Amino acid sequence: MVRKVTENVYVIEHEEAANNVIIIGKKGVILVDTSLFPEKAKSISKFVKEFTMKPISLVLNTHYHPDHTFGNVIFDCPIVAHSLTREKMEQFDQNYFVEIGIDYFKPKLPDVIFDDIFEYEDGLKIKFVHAPGHTPDSSYVYIPEENILITGDTVINTIHPEIVEDSNLNVWIKTLEKLPKAKHVIPGHGEYGDYKLVTDMIDYIEKIKKIIIGELRPADFEADENFSKRLHPEMLEWSLKNLLSKTNF
């Protein structure tokens, strides 16, 4: 589903799959995240060209996870990401593809690398900022003139977030607390909304921490809509197992 956020920004929501964001610049289109499957990325590219009559001139990868990066292969333009994103993607070998159940192809790595912040302007000023927590390389996109924050998986709506082996809850919360207080917030997965998506995510991660240290039980969340209304509770169970196997969260 394509949803208009402002005149210059649209989000392609894919139910539970990663969102793609279209930012329409003066000369070209900036695409945030490219999806898991190259065929889907081709469809996105075709739609963007027909809808905007402009080429996709830049791609931004918010982090290394394949549902945000594997579609890179179909884009013939600069691809921007944090230096750690490229490092992680360099490790995507044939064994990794077997693990996730996808036929192997050579991933297209980001070719424009930044460490702290990347700024770009094409009619709109775009800030791409390193914001670790969900993963060490996670980054967000902020468009001040549009009052829009594009969070990648730092913020998840509608479904339970994926807390992976390299997630750090303490760092994640600090990142969330520092995010720009934008009017429009586009999460990595789920419907876009307002800044409440950020405060809900802070609440979610803080309570996950309390589960890990024994102050809360999963059963305590049955009446908590920030948990009970999210889809895929099996993801919560999987995330807790990941955290319980770690010594530093």
In a domain, 42, yes or no: yes
CB 192 within 8 A of CB 186: yes
In a domain, 152, yes or no: yes
How many separate domains does the chain show? 1
In a domain, 205, yes or no: no
8 token code pair:
């210059």
pLDDT in tens, 188-230: 999 999 999 999 999 999 999 999 888 988 788 888 999 999 9
Domain containing 64 — which CATH number? 3.60.15.10
Cα(first)–Cα(last) distance of the chain, in Å?
A: 35
Q: How far apart are the C-alpha atoms of 21 and 128, rounded to whole Å?
A: 13
Q: How far apart are the C-alpha atoms of 184 and 150, rounded to whole Å?
A: 8
Q: What is the DSSP letter of 201?
A: H
pLDDT in tens, 105-164: 999 999 999 999 999 999 999 999 999 999 999 999 999 999 999 999 999 999 999 999
241 token code pair:
């197992």
CA dihedral 198, 202, 208, 213 (to 10 degrees): 170
Could you list the residue range(s) of the whole structural domain that residue 101 is in?
A: 2-157+181-195
In a domain, 233, yes or no: no
In a domain, 164, yes or no: no
For residue 143, the cross-strand partners are: 148
In a domain, 227, yes or no: no
In a domain, 172, yes or no: no
Task: Tell me how far CA of residue 155 lies from CA of 49, 74, 140, 185, 200, in angstroms.
Answer: 28, 27, 10, 9, 9
Helix/strand/coil for 33: coil
What local confidence, expressed as pLDDT, does residue 16 receive?
79
In a domain, 136, yes or no: yes
